[in-house]
């Protein structure tokens, strides 16, 4: 691994495929296939669930899971992020690596068990302090969601180790197992038993517990490794400063749903949340790229040479252009899918999904910039970005939701993600500067903005949104013309590089 940056030129005149290109393409293909396979399964199930669940049921499930995901941040303490980053500092010998992973994960499991036990025991008194206490009881809805979120956080430890070790197939198999078990449990509870929102939450908890038991079984070698408190302290010093950032990032999701529920009703919350489920296709693209790119980025950035920084800047600029093109496709084609495939009760989501896709494009750019901050171990600085983005999101939600409802909520979150991406870029260039192709990136974002404007135009949404199809072709041609140099430079940089 350490000699990867040294072997970037082919020994003959014909350039060979770059090792980074091969590793990135292979990992992205595996992660992408798994993520999109899971999402495709979820989409098919949503078409099924929408006939058995009312929009208000979706509102209950999503609000309960939002509260749970917020509390799960404190249960995890970002130890999974520490595993991803510090793995490369302790992989000199298998004994050292095993001791580090075993120490961090054993502490993490013990802390999570104590945390979830405390929350569930004090749940009734805690309910009075939760934003959802007026409409959703803690028991059983929020309690089930909290237990599920914490159990999945334990599974995430195993997934983080697979990702750092560049084992995308193992990562994908475990993720697919969780998805299949979740589908089976929810179909049994929702479709066969007709248990509604409560049944969906029960099915998800069943799947999470079974998956955690399997993940824990595969981690047996780490359990017997030598335990060292110094490794725990090192993981906490890296992970705990990320907790405030994750709280603010979670609040970006929490705020709009609860403010929307306050001014409108659970039906609108359900439609809005379902729109986010479909818009998360863009999140899956950025997640797959991040999963494949993260270990390669940290490996190349470890040498801290100027040549590697140039290489990283070119690759990241090319990835930005690719994300913009994919976002445009999602923005322009999602209304057609919503109008043709969803139950008529949910078709008002057709104008919301493009806004969600645009927001996740900005979040994807944030993830690329954030790698530079994480490499510099300036994790505490990420909190400042998240705090500013959350403040913008909160102000816009209160200003826009009373008048425009879920449309105002979607615009507020999208703009907040844009602020988050801009803040991350400024900090990344301060701590670990790279050579970004700024004019082309701004032009690509502007084209995405134009595509978004088309989807908010009533004439374009007529005839089930079919007029958006030629627009999608035109937009992709424009992006190809503007960003072709970024993509070419990224591919060329990954195929060959002059020896130091």
pLDDT at 135: 64
SS3 assignment, position 385: helix
Q: What is the pLDDT confidence band of residue 466, given thresholds at 50, 70 and 90?
A: low
Alpha carbon distance 190, 430 (integer Å): 51
The rounded distance, in Å, linking the Cα atoms of 209 and 26 is 30
Residue predicted with more confidence, 153 or 139: 153
Of the pLDDT bands very low, low, confident and very high (cuts 50, 70, 90), residue 469 is low
- At residue 496 the predicted structure's pLDDT band, cuts being 50, 70 and 90, is very low
90-94, 299-303, 379-383: range with lowest mean pLDDT? 299-303
CA 65 vs CA 190, 281, 335: distances in Å = 17, 19, 26
Q: What is the pLDDT of residue 47?
A: 74
pLDDT classification of 468: cutoffs 50, 70, 90: low
- Would the pLDDT of 339 be above 80? no
| pLDDT band with cut points at 50, 70 and 90 for residue 149 | very high
73 closest CA partner among 211, 292, 241: 241
Q: What is the mean pLDDT of residues 326-341?
A: 80
Would you place residue 16 in the very low, low, confident or very high pLDDT band (cuts 50, 70, 90)? very low
Least confident of 5-14, 105-114, 204-213, 410-419: 5-14
Q: In which residue are the tokens 């900090």 written?
A: 427
Q: What pLDDT does 311 receive?
A: 75
pLDDT at 65 over 90: no
pLDDT tens-digit map of 350-399: 888 899 899 989 988 998 888 888 888 787 788 788 888 889 989 999 99
pLDDT class for 128, splitting at 50, 70, 90? low
Lowest pLDDT segment from 150-164, 414-428, 460-474: 460-474
Structure tokens at 197: 């929102």
| Other beta carbons within 10 Å of 487 | 18
pLDDT band of residue 145 (cuts 50, 70, 90) is very high
Predicted confidence band at 498 (pLDDT cuts at 50, 70, 90)?
very low
Which string of DSSP letters, residue by residue, matches 78-123? THHHHHHHHGGGS-SSHHHHHHHHHHHHHHHHHHHHHHHHHHHHTH
Backbone phi and psi for residue 222, each to the nearest 5 degrees, phi listed first: -75, -30
Question: What confidence category does residue 24 fall into, taking pLDDT thresholds of 50, 70 and 90?
Answer: low
Mean pLDDT computed over 35-55: 78
Q: pTM here? A: 0.64
* Average pLDDT for 150-156: 92
Confidence of residue 256 (pLDDT cuts 50, 70, 90): confident
pLDDT score at 497: 40
178-187, 220-229, 482-491: least confidently modelled range: 482-491
> Which pLDDT value is given to residue 408?
92
Per-position DSSP letters for 342-386, written without gaps between them: S-GGGGGGGGTHHHHHHHHHHHHHHHHHHHHHHHTT-HHHHHHHH
Task: Please report the pLDDT score of residue 133 as a whole number.
Answer: 43
Residue-averaged pLDDT of the chain: 80
Contacting residues for 97 by C-beta, under 8 A, at least 6 apart: 87, 90, 91
In percent, the amount of the chain with pLDDT more than 70 equals 81
* Tokens at 15, concatenated: 């350039």
Q: Select the highest-mean-pLDDT range: 137-146, 296-305, 339-348.
A: 137-146
Residue 61 has pLDDT above 80, yes or no: yes
């Amino acid at each position: 691994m350490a000699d990867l940056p040294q072997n970037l030129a082919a020994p003959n005149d014909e350039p060979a495929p770059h090792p980074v290109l091969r590793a990135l393409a292979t990992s992205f293909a595996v992660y992408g296939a798994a993520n999109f396979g899971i999402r495709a399964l979820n989409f098919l199930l949503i078409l099924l669930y929408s006939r058995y669940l009312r929009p208000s049921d979706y509102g209950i499930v999503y609000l309960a899971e939002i509260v749970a995901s917020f509390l799960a941040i404190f249960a995890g303490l970002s130890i999974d992020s520490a595993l991803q980053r510090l793995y490369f500092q302790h992989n000199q010998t298998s004994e050292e690596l095993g001791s580090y992973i075993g120490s961090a994960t054993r502490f993490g499991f013990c802390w999570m068990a104590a945390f979830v036990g405390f929350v569930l025991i004090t749940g009734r008194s805690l309910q009075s302090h939760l934003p959802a206490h007026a409409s959703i009881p803690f028991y059983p809805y929020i309690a089930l969601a909290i237990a599920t979120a914490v159990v999945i956080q334990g599974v995430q430890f195993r997934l983080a180790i697979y990702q750092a070790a560049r084992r995308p197939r193992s990562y994908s198999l475990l993720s697919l197992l969780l998805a299949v078990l979740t589908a089976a449990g929810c179909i049994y509870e929702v479709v066969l038993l007709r248990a509604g929102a409560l049944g969906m939450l029960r099915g998800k908890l069943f799947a999470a517990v079974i998956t955690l038991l399997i993940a824990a079984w595969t981690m047996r070698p780490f359990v017997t490794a030598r335990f060292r408190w110094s490794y725990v302290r090192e993981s906490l010093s890296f992970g705990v400063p990320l907790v405030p950032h994750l709280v603010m990032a979670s609040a970006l999701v929490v705020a709009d749903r609860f403010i929307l529920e306050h001014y409108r009703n659970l039906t609108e919350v359900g439609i809005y949340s379902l729109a986010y489920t479909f818009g998360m296709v863009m999140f899956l693209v950025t997640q797959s790229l991040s999963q494949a790119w993260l270990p390669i980025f940290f490996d190349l950035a470890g040498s801290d040479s100027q040549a590697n920084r140039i290489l990283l800047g070119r690759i990241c600029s090319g990835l930005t252009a690719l994300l913009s093109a994919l976002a445009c496709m999602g923005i322009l084609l999602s209304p057609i899918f919503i109008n043709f495939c969803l139950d008529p009760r949910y078709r008002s989501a057709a104008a919301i999904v493009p806004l969600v896709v645009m927001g996740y494009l900005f979040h994807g750019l944030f993830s690329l910039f954030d790698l530079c901050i994480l490499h510099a171990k300036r994790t505490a600085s990420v909190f400042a970005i998240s705090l500013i983005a959350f403040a913008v999101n909160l102000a816009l939600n209160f200003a826009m939701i009373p008048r425009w409802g879920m449309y105002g909520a979607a615009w507020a979150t999208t703009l907040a993600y844009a602020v988050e991406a801009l803040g991350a870029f400024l900090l990344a260039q301060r701590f670990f500067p790279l050579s970004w192709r700024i004019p082309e990136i701004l032009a690509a974002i502007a084209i995405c903005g134009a595509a978004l404007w088309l989807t908010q135009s009533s004439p374009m949404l007529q005839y089930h949104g079919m007029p958006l199809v030629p627009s999608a072709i035109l937009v992709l041609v424009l992006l190809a013309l503007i960003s072709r140099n970024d993509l070419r430079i990224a591919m060329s940089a990954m195929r060959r590089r002059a020896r130091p």
